[in-house]
Structure 1
Amino acid sequence: MSPRPTTPSFLPGPAVDRTVCEGWRRWCKTWNDFVPAPVVTAQEFARMTPRQRRFYNLYRLATHSSLPIQATPMSEAVARTVRARAEDGAFSHKAGTRAGVMVNGNGAQGKTETVCTALAAFEEEWLALHHYMNPDSMPGTRDLVAPVAYVRCPVKATPISTCQRILDFYGEDYKGMRLEDLVRTVKTSIMEHATKALVIDDITRLKLHREADQDVLDLIREMMSMPVTLILVGVGIPNSGLLREGRRDPKTKEWIFQPVKDRGRSPNEHAASQHERRFELVDLDPFHYDTSHGIAAWAAHLRGLEGHLRLLNDTEGMLTGEDMPEYLFARTKGVVGVLEKLIQRGCRLAVEDGSERLTKDLLNQFTVTPDDMPDLDAGSGEQPDIPPHKSAPQKRRKGRNTVFDDNGPSRKTVG
């Protein structure tokens, strides 16, 4: 029997769903495991067989589609705050309310990945301290321990559907439960599974449609009373109704909130101010290009990306030389998610047309659109503001690289 063919290492495994406990754990163990394609020169590539070239091109396609999450000065500040709050709450011996964090920022800024990677490191350390067991489990049982729970609000979320998402993470059955039962079951699940940090992503999908409809604020207030650090992630949090309407001081970069106004029939007229006092609001901003420090940070980020490109021409200076930093900033407004999509698509074109280089002429041939980020909900303001760009006509080049072409299996001529 012939040996089973080896599966290429660059092929993705089963999809990871971080919104369930098993998927979250798997992601924590594997999120940084991908090994990029080796660096190959044009001469080495030319000596490959057609099959080897095709495999290498597919490998670097996977590499460009899996660009690593690079830390930025802004994301590092957010990560420090998130981890510090999680640690403060987890190591506290007091029974009082844990202070939470609200991570605010526009779409495609990397909020989710910043929070998740920070909490993955916290979870690993916490589990190691407890020998990967639940310290509060009953003797003779093997209870599931989940130091971190990650959930996403559904589109057009309600308090009921948000509670259901939390229970989905633990695999709990909630059929037929009312909101009161759901909240109580969420609290029990957090306690029994020793959860220390609860992340609710896309929190601004929760809406306050009516003045008397305070279910959302009531839900968050109830969660704040649980022995868990609540981390809320969303777009436009200061103006969402979860906090009092605020503005950002241009000098201090801190949020200033308006005085509490009479909310008429609302029984929770001070609920938003309670949220404000119990949550630290941090912003994950894009890069800026109006100071020397901001320009240097942007150039350093581009230099880091250059090291992960797998084009046959030398990539050093490909994104940082001449006026490319200014051009890339104008195309992306410093938003890392838009930059990533621009680089990914540009690399694919550079491989297909054989140019093997990212240039302004090549990048001008296409535009990044919201369709490139389908997981971001436009109705909740999650899609980034992409600068308008009119695509130039694609130039026809000679000697197109045909390694992506598949002519099918060879056929022998029958005499």
Structure 2
Amino acid sequence: MEPFEGDDRQYSPTRLPGWMQEVYGPDRVQPKHHTQAQLADFSPRNLLVYNDKREVWHANIGPIDTPQLLSLHESLAEIVESNRQDGDKTKPAALVDAYPGLGKSTAVRAYGRALFRKQVALRGETTPSGDRRVPIIYIALSGNTQIRGLNAAICRFYGLPVTGDADTLAERAVDAVLSMKTSAIVIDDIHFLARARSNSVRMANQLKYLSNVFPVTLIYVGVGVQRRGVLREGFSGRETELAQFGRRTTPLTLPPFQVEDELGRQQWQTLLKTVEQKLVLAEKYTGMLARDLSDYLYARSTGHFASLMSLINRGCLRAIRTGHERLDKDLMDQVKNDAAAEEARKELESAIEAGLLTSRPGQHTPKRGRKSA
């Protein structure tokens, strides 16, 4: 009996080999749908293999081209791909600032993957000097990152030594950027540079340093960065560093799904229908998510894409392993979700039960907080 390794793909996009795997890795193939009767005819071994394929498939659904994601990609392209300034000019940066659980890192990496492929298709896999062409790179920060840590993360991505002081690491990283024709750097978890509001000037100084040293477009991704005043306070004239950073940075966001109006409800329904088509469960039926679980899933995910997909992924796992082979409220009630979604769940469920909120298009509901006539 030959061993079955499965389709798990373990890599880190913060290292060049892992990033290349994300950029050029083959698209996953959706497993074939089988009925309960067909599953009953599988040998124990074949059923194990089939279920393993379904489990890894459900865990990796996405990214999905939601209106929010497409809008973000359009804005990123406008900023990044218009930055054709010569090396003596500082390129404007982008800041994707949004709440946790909305899929912003996945969305930005998806844009980076598309840009990488586009540039290589246009200019070739190697540079005129014979180096590998790496148009865009991705790094993620950790707590209390300083200038040296930023430079080390870039060197580590390229597989360069991380010994030496901040200036030595910067020189090493810049050489790699120039030789591999890197034009954009995604810096995720940028909020770790400023855990407190009082650190906004220090954060602006570090990011200003990056924009001065690296002749690339910087794409920052973080949580609550604008709340710390990094983009606002400089306009009052109190801090030169903040003013410079604010003028050079365009804020973007990735909003959650909302069902307060008809357009929002239609977008939510479209998302559920798209996800439903990708599920591989023997007892799946049309309307399983978009009709029968629409309000339920909205309340449990609070409109956050990552929370929704975690909930559905875990639900599918439970449906497969129990033989239930479908998603319904009874099964989903047994599935745990992230703490933030569960904390906000009760208020949304109460509003839905009271008729003050619905996720279904074509159903008018009074505005929340007001009594209906």
The structure with the largest helix share of the pair is 2
Distance 1:355 1:174 in 2: 51
String of CA shifts for 1:49-96, please: whole Å, max 9, x gaps.
23222222222122222222212111111111112322212x445742
**2:45 is the alignment partner of 1:51:** yes
Instruction: Tell whether 2:179 aligns with 1:152.
Output: no
Query: Closer, same or farther in 2 for the Cα pair 1:213/1:43, shift >3 Å?
Result: closer
Q: CA deviation at 1:211?
A: 5.7
RMSD: 2.5
Cα offset, 1:303, TM superposition: 0.4
- Residue 208 of structure 2 is matched in structure 1 by 221
Correspondence for 1:100 among 72, 93, 100 = 93
1:355 matched to 2:352? The reply is no
Q: Cα–Cα, structure 1 residues 279 and 59, in superposed 2: closer, same or farther, change >3 Å?
A: same
Q: What is the CA-CA distance between 1:41 and the residue it aligns to?
A: 1.4
Partner of 2:360: none
Aligned equivalent of 2:2: 5
Counterpart position of 2:371: none
CA distance in 1, matches of 2:243, 2:204: 11
What amino acid maps onto 1:159 in structure 2?
I
AA in 2 matched with 1:76: L
For 2:52 and 2:316, locate their aligned partners in 1 and report how far apart those are by CA, in whole Å: 12
**TM norm structure 2:** 0.85
Matches for 1:267-286 after TM superposition, within 5 Å:
269-286=239-256
Distance 1:194 1:384, change over 3 A: farther
Among candidates 11, 24, 27, match of residue 22 of structure 2: 27
Q: Output one character per residue of 1:71-123: Cα deviation in whole Å (capped at 9) or x when no partner.
A: 2111111111112322212x445742212111111112111111111121111
Is the deviation greater in 44-53 or in 116-125? 44-53
Which residue is equivalent to 1:325?
294
- In the alignment, the residues of structure 2 paired with residue 384 and residue 277 of structure 1 have an alpha-carbon distance, to the nearest angstrom, of 35
Unaligned runs of 5+ in 2: 347-373
Q: Distance in 2 between matches of 1:274 and 1:336?
A: 34
Measured in 1, the distance between the counterparts of 2:341 and 2:249 equals 25
Asked whether the 8 Å contact 1:303–1:320 carries over to 2, the reply is: yes
How far apart are the structure 1 equivalents of 2:211 and 2:242? 13
Task: Provide the rounded CA distance (Å) in 2 between the counterparts of 1:294 and 1:110.
Answer: 18
Contact 1:204 1:240 in 2 (8 A): no
Shift of 1:20: 1.4
Q: Is the 8 A contact 1:150 1:198 kept in 2?
A: yes
* Distance in 1 between residues matched to 2:90 and 2:104, nearest whole Å: 25
Aligned to 1:133: 126
- Matching residue within 335, 350, 371 for 1:366: 335
The answer on whether the counterparts of 1:85 and 1:99 sit within 8 Å (CA) in structure 2 is yes
Q: Once the two structures are aligned, what percentage of the paired residues are identical?
A: 27
3-state SS of the aligned residue for 2:283?
coil
After TM superposition, give the deviation of residue 287 of structure 1 in Å. 0.2
Distance 1:22 1:275 in 2: 32
Deviation at 1:158, TM superposition (A): 2.0
Distance in structure 2 (CA, Å) of the matches to 1:49 and 1:208: 55
* Aligned 8 A contact 1:159 1:215 in 2: no
- For the pair 1:116 / 2:109, whether they are aligned, the reply is yes
Equivalent in 276, 279, 296 of residue 306 of structure 1: 276
Q: Normalising to structure 1: TM-score of the pair?
A: 0.77
C-alpha distance in 1 between matches for 2:345 and 2:263: 26
Q: Work out the number of aligned pairs and report it.
A: 346
Larger Rg: 1
1:387 aligns with 344
